[in-house]
Chains A and B, each alone.
Chain A
Amino acid sequence: MDARDALKALEATGVAGRAAGDGDEVAGVRPRWVALPESAEEIAAVMRVCAAHDLAAVATGGGTKLHWGAPPDRCDVLVDLCCMNRVLEHAAGDLVVRAQAGVTVEALARALAEGGQELALDVPVPCTTVGGLLATGIAGPRRFRYGTARDLLIGVTVVLADGTIAKSGGKVVKNVAGYDLGKLFTGSYGTLGIIADATFRLHPLPAARAWVTFTVERPVTETVEPYVYEGRTLDTTSFEAAAALHAVIPAVTESPLEPSAVEVDWPDVAGPCTVAVLVEGAAAAERAKALCGLVGDATGGVVQVSEEPPPWWGRLPEPPGPDEPPGPEGRAADGGEILLEVRNVPYRLAGSFVEPFCAARTADVRAAVRGSLASHVFHVALPPDTEPGRVAGFTGVLRDDMEADGEGRVVVLAAPPEAARRLDRWGRVGALPLMRRVKERFDPDRRLSPGRFIGGIW
């Protein structure tokens, strides 16, 4: 490739751009150029140049999760969608919004609140853009009630590796015309195309919200019992989730009071945890009171009700350790972040507590856990200075336990390169050959975020 020809061609598109700098690195890989398109057509023009000159491209929005996923095998052009920051249409009467990919969730929320509505996704990373939330498929507490981005996305415009602009879905919620490309692009980490704009179904802002919270001092209990083996008496230790959790969580999630979310915050798996239950809508206060009774009876402990969320609500966990105070955004925004996503099933509630606890003990690391006890999706943060071998050890033990019966999953969203080299980011993946074939059709020359996704296969 002749870099000068490629640069000339990029300039000839008329799309704003600049040479890449230190702050433009994608998981440690520095691109050559940054393109700043202002429309789907401009993205397409950049992609056509990339196709003609075999340049690899990575899309970015707020850049808040650019260090997630594996480093790209190559990256020539960073397609920065920051200029595509318009809310294109908020049809309040239809409970629908169409926004460009570079709109942040905060800006979107402000625009929607004017019409008394919201996108019912509690995106847990501040300054995430619409494109970024779709590319990573990240969601927060109310996934239990409203689902995740895939469930609320009703239309999408994407630009493919060859510059084709394509849309699917539309601006009505009920629509089964054609394949739903939005679902395919949600969580695809920019490997199939670049999302230019998206249309979501909205919900009315709830009339009222109330949070019911309680603390469990020892979420994991330890029992030491003598065990006789070949005439010798040994001590065996068994671990179990606290009885209070067993008593409360299923009762709350299955309650006809219909909480919108049930979250746990466990700042250090060696310490206590707090559980918070959200009820929203008409009669929220009344329902919260009833939930209080339910929780109080089961735990015998102190239960609080508040109209304000706990400070940690809807955010990713901060890694434990007073030596690493959280930054203004509450998390390390650079390559130091060590963040895992754990998925489980309700029946394995005990495992959701015992397994991170035991993995942290075995690997000798400190870990913080936060996530949904209703949907059973959790995030686990380790201190950024955790020794790489221990990160791998923790991931390995946790995954062995979680995936043993085929139900749980552990994905490493972010890890420093030294740690990442020693572990498998994605774990168990079904249907991998089919996924590979989809990638081959959409991006046969591997120019979009090559190597970023699923174990570096692409």
Chain B
Amino acid sequence: MSMLQVKDLSIQFGGVKAVQNVSFNIDAGIVYSVIGPNGAGKTTLFNLITGVYKPTSGEITLDGEAIHGKSPNELAVRGVARTFQNLQICMNMSAIENVMVGAHLRLDRNLIKAALRFPGLKKRDRELRAEATQLMDFVGLGQYVETRADAMSYGALKRLEIARALAMKPRLIFLDEPAAGLNPKETIEVDHLVRKIADSGVTVVLVEHDMKMVMNLSDRILVLDYGKKLAEGTGEEIRKNPDVIAAYLGAHA
């Protein structure tokens, strides 16, 4: 059985049907990409699956459990992580603290114990700091550990979001345009990073406009257009699909 199953998923904002009757399955351990032109409903689809929006109709199941309508923090408990197309970084915190927040659910969060500085908490915090430092190295931000988030470049913040998501130790990670706004060199680095994440056993769902990156990384691809599913298949199948060629990839594919 597939890890994530989406069936007849729809959401309507007033008269706008942003996502209409979309169905697909994602198997564990693969890289699954969602492509389509701007406004096709890719980010809306992410927001639906990760609980930011509640669907108007349809079903989403994760390992057989219905998860539609659950809030983002309930999904986090189930090992679902995500990054955002328009950055959602806590600018009031340092870079490493942003990563440490990602480990929220794995920590003792008791208010009283924290205020009274119970023994063991500080030690756990130091371990966490070391772990977060490693993660920042992993995403290539080793030199930014103590930098304030508001002093970092856009490209670095994009990777900081990935590090924060990885700190959750997720089983399933949604990356919303991780290479958007990056220069070619940074894009290649993100490409390698996504590969490393997938190789570490995390199932990756990717929204990306960079076709080279999508074709290079994806095991399967879903094509959306005006909120509807246009095609789904391997990179090769998508490349050859006449509808897709006509609508998106154009002559250079």
User: Does B associate with A?
Assistant: no
